[in-house]
Structure 1
């Protein structure tokens, strides 16, 4: 079990609060747009390394602590983190208990086989191939590399199915799973 603490912070203090919570003993910390899902939501776009200094005007800082933490000790950690981040007092916050889960299994449940063409499927290793007569690429998908679901990856895979013939040389100049090179 874990305790999730969600604090509200303005743009100029969210990052400092995140860092201070980690220093105070949080197991993990994330920052989200507190206005997400409202008219005030502000999506972030840009090139890596060139993001604005403050992500959102109103942030939600979420820290995860061990459920065995003493409530008084947790309160002291929050107070220390708030002081270190420049707050006069602990900002408004809520807590909730987070149950232990099999995160690998939960992540895997989000990925199903993907049909690229009549003859090409991308199949996570924990699934049976839906079409035994097709080319089934077994791949353990993740969030940071090609699974065939992104439109550009899918378009390239469709093109490979049409254009590549035996004897062709193909270079997958990516930095992910190598799905295009495998498919070729």
Structure 2
């Protein structure tokens, strides 16, 4: 299936807000390339590793959208997000899915998070650190759904899950993308996981990664309208600040009293408003930061008449 690819010039300063805007517009995947490469068709896909900064001051940021997306509308929407963005160098082309997948597989390498969690591409050997008896190894093929572990928002969530005692617990991964967080939770000892995403491609990717990791019998992926209406002792939502604000009552209702929640996809500077928003339902709210991205975590209070 072909996809619409949008590439834009950016700098290490503008990249975080431009990437956030593209994801808010429904980009299926976002990557970076060197703006000064001599042969664009041979550029390596680059996504900063955990704790790393982009290697280039001037880059091209490339986003993949579903076939049939209106390029003019995408540019107009980007301009409305931030009038200071440089859209003069925007370029569109149609790409086949196998081109994107091959580039990703060529560049991705095993990553570790916290004490036990390891994300390993499905076609690579296990590194030595992932061979320990208590290692939680996730074999990943994200396909065209967001979530490989290399982005700081996903890394923050993986580290949070790694630090919890998940044995026998049920987990909700809200905005699951590739399903990486739900699968990781199961590998870390969770009994069951539900994963929710409004993108059918994410549901397919999550189901595929669950089967690849032998946890398909314990993981169900749902579109929002089909998902069970219930609460969970552990909830993780790696989406965007605007969605976290809008969905706050729903996410609070899905977190069991005494349960824990982690919210990610938040740019630095956006956390204060969300801390105030979620304080209506959650105690012990705390902030963690990686590069320009924030994770908020807290503990759900018992529902009452004032807060729901």
Query: TM-score, length-normalised on structure 2?
Result: 0.29
Query: TM-score, length-normalised on structure 1?
Result: 0.45
Higher relative contact order (CA 8 A, sep 6+): 1
